[in-house]
Structure 1
Amino acid sequence: MMRQYELVERVRRYNPNTDEALLDRAYVYAMRAHGSQLRASGDPYFSHPLEVAAILTDLKLDDATIVSALLHDTIEDTSATKVEIERLFGHQIATLVEGLTKIKKLDLVSKQAKQAENLRKLLLAIADDVRVLLVKLADRLHNMRTLKWVPPEKRDRVAQETLDIYAPLAARMGMQDMREELEDLSFRQLSPEAYESIAERVSELRQGNGAVVQEIERELKDELERRGIAAEVKGREKRPYSIWGKMERKAIGFEQLSDLYGFRVIVGSVEDCYRALGVIHTKWAIVPGRFKDYISTPKPNDYRSLHTTVVGPRRQRVEMQIRTRDMEEIAEYGIAAHALYKDASGAPGAMLSHESRAYAWLRKTIENLSQGLSPEEFLEHTKLELFHDQVFCFTPKGRLIALPRKATPIDFAYAVHTDVGNTAVGCKINGSIAPLVSELKNGDEVEIITSKAQTPPGAWETIAVTGKARAAVRRATRTAVRAQYAGLGRKIAERAFAKAGKVFSEDAVAKGTPRLARTAAEDVFAAVGRGEIKTEDLIRAVYPDWQPPRAEDRTDRQINGEGWFELKRGHNLKFKIPEGAKPRDGEDAERLDAIPIRGINGELPVRFAPEGGAVPGDRIVGILTPGEGITIYPIQSPSLQSFEDAPERWLDVRWDVDELSDGRFPARIIVTARNAPGSLAQVAGAIGDRGGNIDGLQMRSRSADFHEMVIDIEVFDLRHLNTIMADLKAREVVAQVERVNG
């Protein structure tokens, strides 16, 4: 464990004017406060805040941040209070520590709501002082480095949260080294086999290509020196998670990757950046479409650099990044390298009048996310806003709009202004009429066509990529459907309370709204109608002592007073059956299984599109048919065109399937196979070998040489379906395979 004087020395290396007495007091106070507490590893708990402080000294942060790191768990995990810390260390440090403290006594029913409210509190604290974020990221990094000591059942949750929130936050703040380490540590926990496989392949490649890397470094540096450009050149291999992400994104194998190594060229000035680019492009052939100028157009996180890919020695594709030393510092440390809270001497607490683009973006995002979203929406939209990949588009007047990868003109319209998005009816991309669902590309000029008579369809929420657009669509359509959802939710609640033997009243529900993270009873009923709040959670919010019936006390099947047919124990969907009807003996339990889709409450009958089904991984919508229930369609289904004039019937739904679930979902494919003996057996064998289940088969003659097989199959998810289709295409008897989207 680091000694007191060692910590002081680490700070003094970059800040000779450090307040040694302040650091000493914080060290001793935190050590005494945590006392005999131990971490899961058996180490003294104080070793954790000490390591967090050490990570922040590597980022060369001010005294107040280092002290806050030492104290960051004292309010949460010891008897220390904010008042005491403010008395001993001042208001600034006390505020930072309080901002890092989770809300302990959240009286909320849902774990997701608790997570969202703690995240909301953290982001609001970050908006006041970015140093809260820097300490939190260092805290998460050390927790990930010691993840092996965490109970196994919690590791995946911590790793997934890191991948969803903290790594993207680090990326948005330009802290690439920290982002990459967080991603790799999460990837190693969540996909250990894939991580080890890629790490092993990279190691083999490193041994085989070591000479190539040195050759490129030497040749490039010599060439720049001959042209009078002093430069530092260093090679760097991609990390496993980055490699995995590219393989997944482009659906390619490891052998097809061409830029596993990148080279940084560090020069003295912006002018030298463009001169070095000219030298590189003169010496080696450029790969078309791979040049990006982030110096003239910086990324929102302040990242500046020239990117190009060339065909280098031995016909190897080589990725080059050209930047100045100042740009390199910001690329590595992001907002921590920015003089946001340090003066020239690095004195603690000094604030400058300007703020970085990254921090300005964060403040604006937090402001947008705080406008009346439910906890679930807040968590979802925060994740959406944090993803880093960008495309840069322009308005007709030349205004630059930065959007996430795969953004559409709908996202563009809402980025311009909420009113523009709400009234959008069409668009022009580079002067040509295009659908509002088109995927935008770098450099596109987008013109939005509007109409005051337009209101955004609810289906846009499933198409939009940005959190801002999704939130705006949801707000705009909420008023139109609120009464419908609230009325449905109220009836569901009344029936649930009666079944539980509890008195239902809107006043009682209103008093229980804080435990459901809602502000009014009408919000609760609407959430129940949408399926966002379970009726069991609602009853517990009103009657905290109530417990749902135990599984062993439930009958497998029963008809209740409302004519609803309950499924096998443990299932959560109910199907309406005609009055007076009885369950059929031997009814197929698989077909009556629960459909784990978020956004649909358990009291509505649900079915899949009859001509093609839907599987996890598809972007889906639900269509409500009064008296019949909800039908789930893939977003690309042509059948949805018949519902375009009835936006009130469109429901917001999401898959909510556990990765380890063994549930299967319906899909339909058409296989064109040679008319030869054994062709059907080969097709069925390919499906069976990949774990698919054939649910129905229809043979259609196409010609004397080929015939079509219309096959209904059951699969786990979209990836499983694509694997089966790829295996079928590889069979010699198969000429074509296509999926049916009914």
Structure 2
Amino acid sequence: MGRDAPGLATDSQFIEKIEHTFKAADADLLTQAYTFTQAKACNGNSVGYKAADLLFDQAADATTIAGALLAPLLWKNLTDIGHVREHFGPYVATALEDLRDAFFSPIETQPCESENIHALLVSIDGIPRKAILYITFRLLALECAIDECETTARQMAQETLDLLVPIANRLSLGDLRRRLEDACFQVLDPHDYEKLREKVFPIQSEDDKCLEILLSGVKRLLANNKIQGRVQGRTKSLHGIRCKMTRTGKTLEEIMDRIGLRVIVTSVPECYTVLGLLHAHFKPIPGTFDDYIGLPKDNGYQSLHTCVYPVREISHKPIEFQVRTELMHLEAEHGTAAHWRYKTEVAAERDYHRTQWMEGLVHQHREAASSEAFIERLHRQVFRDHLVVFGNGGRIVRIAENATVRDYLKIINAHVSRDVPVKVNGRVVTLDCALRDGDSIEVLTGETTVGLDGKLTVSGIRSLPDARTHGFDFF
């Protein structure tokens, strides 16, 4: 590989990109890191440049991008963590300290072996920025290994599907996650990938034509109603199509959600206005509307989802829409990586909960009966259905599917005796009563109802469908 990377072909282009994106202090940090890597890496640092460019596209902060430039130098022993800390600051050093080499070192153990999983989790150390860096370099490694059939490449891809894809999903790194999944598909099943690609190619032009017409129509719909916004069209990834076919037993031609549109506006009220316009302009399919703005997903994802019937002479398949604000879109695509761009209390709280979750992964792995059990639990946490509990002050708490009243009491940290009445939908039940979609719970202690903090609350419970089980996994 040469020194130049796509998008960062010259010094002036990189510096211009920095100055256009960041304020003076952050721009100085990145310029310093870029200059240092040029001086140290005699044969170039194309991997570092590609990682930095990829993180630019993910709207990452300057510390993370600087870490991407410097990480290959540490892995090649061209510098040390002490020098990084002294010249680039403690935040960059923390992001890089003990970070496992995701690109250059071969994986010497099987992906499900306990030692390998533990080493990866310890390397990430419960720090989202470390995870973002590791995932970025792993993506580049996989995309370079697509044409290789070596055991190492296959192990790398399997480890990525087992561990890094769920972590990327939890951190709301939607764009990186999709690219990881497609790269893993190509490495693990190159024959199936190529076979599916050949099947999709002939109908791709039809899908693109549908999207072009729909994009133009929805843009006019916004303009006619004086709503400022933008519209994106996306086609379902090959990995997403393969998963849908495997899960449902349908053929490619029977997959009805190969295309979809996102409408991105400036405010939450406009999201609901646009939803009303779409439902008035198209014919909505009953039971396909989901409000993830009012009820965000576990990873903080927010958007309105709806599906409409096929449009005569345009599309013979249903059309799915996602409606969200610019901030929701930034969160959905780039998650934790982009939080520096909108420092809000909500973003800070999400970062806190994501960090807590990541810090607990090492403990969960240590306590698991086997690595396979840990991986199964990890995927269940991230991808499967949960119940949503509306607690004190409207706060949302999620508990596992098939939870009981006893599980609910543990979650809200309510200490009640056996004789305390618990009502579900107004009827007294036992602590072993299973909770169902739409239930409301009251835990009564004398004159009060026990809530999240042991104080007054009335909680309602409903099921939150996972995107993978509700037909909205085409992005």
TM class by smaller structure: 0.7 to 0.9
1:188–1:195 contact (8 Å) kept in structure 2:
yes
Aligned to 2:389: 394
Per-residue CA deviations over 1:593-646 (Å, capped at 9, x if unaligned) read xxxxxxxxxxxxxxxxxxxxxxxxxxxxxxxxxxxxxxxxxxxxxxxxxxxxxx
Q: Which residue of 2 aligns with 1:409?
A: 403
Name the structure 2 match of 1:66: 65
Q: 1:14 to 1:399 in 2, by over 3 A?
A: closer
- State the 1:181 CA deviation: 0.8
Find out whether 1:10 has 2:17 as its counterpart. yes
Contact 1:302 1:356 in 2 (8 A): no
TM-superposition CA deviations, 1:5-63 (whole Å, max 9, x none): 44323222211525565445433544565556xxxxxxx6x221221112112233333
Aligned to 2:174: 176
Q: How does 1:148-163 map to 2 (within 5 A)?
A: 148=146, 152-163=150-161
Give 1:184 shift. 0.6
1:426-472 CA-to-partner distances (Å, cap 9, x unmatched) read: x998689899898x876555799xxxxxxxxxxxxxxxxxxxxxxxx
Q: How many Å apart are 1:353 and its aligned residue?
A: 7.3
CA contact (8 A) 1:86 1:93 kept: yes
Alignment pair present for 1:333 and 2:334: yes
Closer/same/farther in 2, CA of residues 83 and 313 from structure 1, 3 Å limit: same
The one-letter code of the counterpart of 1:385 is L
CA contact (8 A) 1:231 1:265 kept: yes
Report if aligned partners of 2:111, 2:117 keep a CA contact under 8 Å in 1.
Answer: no
How many residue pairs get aligned? The number is: 419
> CA-to-partner distance for each residue in 1:397-419, whole Å, 9 max, x for gaps?
77634357xx3226992794398
The separation in 2 between residues aligned to 1:154 and 1:301, in whole angstroms, is: 31
| Structure 1 residues 86 and 317: alpha-carbon distance in aligned structure 2, compared to 1, 3 A threshold | same
Is contact 1:330-1:337 (8 Å) kept?
yes
- Alpha carbons of structure 1 residues 367 and 111: separation in structure 2 relative to 1, 3 Å: closer
Give distance in 2, aligned partners of 1:435 and 1:237: 46
Q: For the structure 1 residues 337 and 57, does the alpha-carbon distance in structure 2 shift closer, same or farther, using more than 3 Å as the test?
A: same
Structure scoring higher RCO (CA < 8 A, sep ≥ 6) equals: 2
Name 1:363's counterpart in structure 2. 355
Query: Structure 2: which 5+ runs fail to align?
Result: 5-9, 444-475
Please give the secondary structure, in 2, of the residue aligned with 1:27. helix
Provide the residue aligned with 2:467 in structure 1. Answer: none
* Contact 1:113/1:375 (8 A) holds in 2: no
Q: Which has the higher helix share?
A: 2
Q: Deviation of residue 292 (structure 1)? A: 0.4
Q: Residue 453 of structure 2 corresponds to which residue in structure 1? A: none
Cα 1:156–1:444 change in 2 (3 A) is: farther
1:80 corresponds to which residue? Answer: 79
Tell me, yes or no, if the aligned pair for 1:34 and 1:74 is still in contact at 8 Å: yes
The CA deviation at 1:179 is 0.9
Partner of 1:534: none
Within-5 A mapping of 1:237-252: 237-252=235-250
Q: Does residue 235 of structure 1 match 2:248? A: no
Could you tell me how far apart the structure 1 residues matched to 2:88 and 2:224 are?
Answer: 56
For residues 190 and 434 of structure 1, the distance between their equivalents in structure 2, rounded to whole angstroms, comes to 49
Shift in alpha-carbon separation, 1:428–1:148, aligned structure 2, 3 A: farther
The residue correspondences of 1:534-613 to structure 2 (distance < 5 A) are none
Instruction: Kindly indicate whether residue 389 of structure 2 is the aligned counterpart of residue 385 of structure 1.
Output: no
Q: Give the letter aligned to residue 54 of structure 2.
A: I
Cα 1:375–1:154, aligned 2, differ >3 Å: closer, same or farther?
farther
Could you say which residue in structure 1 is the equivalent of 2:318? 317
Specify whether residues 33 and 117 from structure 1 end up closer, same or farther in structure 2 by C-alpha distance, changes over 3 A only.
farther
State the secondary structure of the residue aligned to 1:73.
helix
- Report how far residue 151 of structure 1 moved: 6.6
Identical aligned pairs, as a percentage?
27
* Alpha-carbon distance, 1:115 to partner: 1.3
Cα pair 1:295 1:306 within 8 Å, conserved: yes
Instruction: Quote how far apart the aligned CAs of 1:311 are.
Output: 0.6
Distance 1:155 1:268, change over 3 A: same
Q: CA-to-partner distance for each residue in 1:154-178, whole Å, 9 max, x for gaps?
A: 1111111111222222211112111
What is the alpha-carbon distance in structure 2 between the residues aligned to residue 320 and residue 224 of structure 1? 14
- After TM superposition, give the deviation of residue 208 of structure 1 in Å: 2.6
1:43-442 matches, within 5 Å, as 46-78=45-77, 80-101=79-100, 112-126=113-127, 130-148=128-146, 152-314=150-312, 316-339=317-340, 355-371=347-363, 374=366, 377=369, 379=371, 380-381=373-374, 384-385=377-378, 387-394=382-389, 400-402=396-398, 407-409=401-403, 413=407, 416-417=410-411
Gaps of 5+ in 1: 37-43, 345-350, 449-742
Does the Cα contact within 8 Å between 2:59 and 2:334 map onto a contact in 1?
no
Larger CA Rg, structure 1 vs 2? 1
Q: Is the Cα contact below 8 Å between 2:122 and 2:362 reproduced in 1?
A: no
Q: Distance in 2 between matches of 1:114 and 1:260?
A: 40
Residues in 1 aligned to 2:111 and 2:251: alpha-carbon distance in whole angstroms = 41
Which residue identity is paired with 2:374? H
- Kept in 2, the 8 Å contact 1:396–1:445? The answer is no
CA distance in 1, matches of 2:248, 2:256: 12
Counterparts of 1:66 and 1:367, CA distance in 2? 23
Q: For the structure 1 residues 22 and 235, does the alpha-carbon distance in structure 2 shift closer, same or farther, using more than 3 Å as the test?
A: closer
**Cα 1:399–1:338, aligned 2, differ >3 Å: closer, same or farther?**
closer
Shift of 1:81: 2.7
Q: What amino acid is aligned across from residue 26 of structure 1 in structure 2?
A: A
- Alignment partner of 1:120: what SS? helix
Rounded Cα–Cα distance in structure 1 between residues aligned with 2:397 and 2:318: 31
CA–CA distance in structure 1, aligned partners of residues 240 and 383 of structure 2: 13
Distance 1:383 1:87, change over 3 A: farther
Deviation at 1:77, TM superposition (A): 3.3
The equivalences for 1:369-518 within 5 A come to 369-371=361-363, 374=366, 377=369, 379=371, 380-381=373-374, 384-385=377-378, 387-394=382-389, 400-402=396-398, 407-409=401-403, 413=407, 416-417=410-411, 443=438, 445=440
CA positional deviation for 1:383: 6.0
Whether the aligned pair in 2 keeps the contact of 1:293 and 1:306 (CA below 8 Å) is yes
Are the equivalent residues in 2 in contact too, given 1:265–1:323 (CA < 8 A)? yes
Distance change in 2, residues 1:24/1:359 (3 Å): closer
Q: What's the offset of the Cα at 1:261? A: 0.7
CA distance, structure 1, for counterparts of residue 338 and residue 215 of structure 2: 27
* Root mean square deviation, CA, Å: 3.9
Q: In 1, distance between residues paired with 2:12 and 2:339?
A: 27
**Residues 263 and 320 in structure 1, CA contact (< 8 A), matched pair in contact too:** yes
Alpha-carbon spacing, 1:110–1:265, altered in 2? closer, same or farther (3 Å): closer
Distance 1:294 1:419 in 2: 26
Q: Is the 8 A contact 1:11 1:57 kept in 2?
A: no
What is the alpha-carbon distance in structure 2 between the residues aligned to residue 215 and residue 79 of structure 1? Answer: 53
| Residues 684-713 of structure 1 deviation map (CA, whole Å, 9 limit, x = unaligned) | xxxxxxxxxxxxxxxxxxxxxxxxxxxxxx
Contact 1:390–1:403, Cα closer than 8 Å, also in 2: no
Q: 1:4 to 1:114 in 2, by over 3 A?
A: farther
Q: CA contact under 8 A between 1:116 and 1:376: conserved in structure 2?
A: no
